[in-house]
Amino acid sequence: MALGRTYAEQDCSLARTLEVVGERWTLLVLRDCFLGVRRFCDIQAHLDLPRAVLSDRLKSLVAAGVLEQSGKEYTLTARGLSLWPAVYALQQWGERECAAAEGRRKLFRHVACGTDVDSVGFCSSCAVVPPVGEWEIRPGPGADLSLRQDRVAQVLAAGPHRLLEPI
């Protein structure tokens, strides 16, 4: 038990979360789902991870009720969608603490009003934290658009993209 994917009997909600999303690659797979990527090959090409690992992670996430599979498409469930604040918080830490020389790699904006959200996801003009479906991502000054050529990277490089909108 103590080996691999679980964390020994701890009375700890963080350990419970990490048993679901704490394995290598899992959070990056979920981030792709938030971007709207739905197909196996698109995720695989974007993240450049072994197919066997992606297959395993998708199965685990479906089993945990974080993703659901219909045909060949994987989409976030309500449970999965509620991970967004955590994913965003981790992403923002990387933006601040592992910053690119030229600035933010990615910028997020509330589509309803056009205002950029802050580092906790708060929209200052609407005074709310918008649901993730109302967010839009666009490349920032620190983005390196030449790094990846896959389909997902191309869509994101092309300009603003609404989260969850199928890619």
Task: Give the interface with DNA as residue ranges (CB under 7 A).
Answer: 2-5, 23-25, 39-42, 49-53, 55-56, 58, 72
Taking residues 20 to 59 in sequence order and writing x for each that binds a copy of itself by CB under 8 A, - otherwise, the string is xxxxx--xx--x---------------xx-----------
Q: How far is the CB of 44 from a copy of itself (least distance, A)?
A: 12
In the stretch 118-137, what mask flags binding to a copy of itself with x, by CB under 8 A? --x--------x--------
Q: From CA 117, how far away is CA 5, in angstroms rounded?
A: 34
How many residues are given for the chain? Answer: 167
- Taking the complex as a whole, how short is the minimal distance between the CB of residue 139 and DNA, in angstroms? 24
Q: Say whether residue 1 binds a copy of itself (CB under 8 A).
A: no
Q: How far, in Å, are 9, 15, 81, 108, 136 from residue 133 at the CA level?
A: 36, 28, 9, 12, 8
> For the chain, what is the radius of gyration of the CA atoms?
16
Name which of 102, 123, 100, 120 is nearest 111 in CA terms. Answer: 123
**HSE on the CB side for 68, CA within 13 Å?**
6
Q: Is the dihedral of CA 93, 157, 154, 38 positive or negative?
A: positive
Q: Which of 58, 61, 143, 164 binds a copy of itself (CB under 8 A)?
A: 143
| Contacts to a copy of itself by CB under 8 A | 2, 7-24, 27-28, 31, 47-48, 79, 82-83, 85-87, 89-98, 105-106, 120, 129, 143-145, 147-148, 153
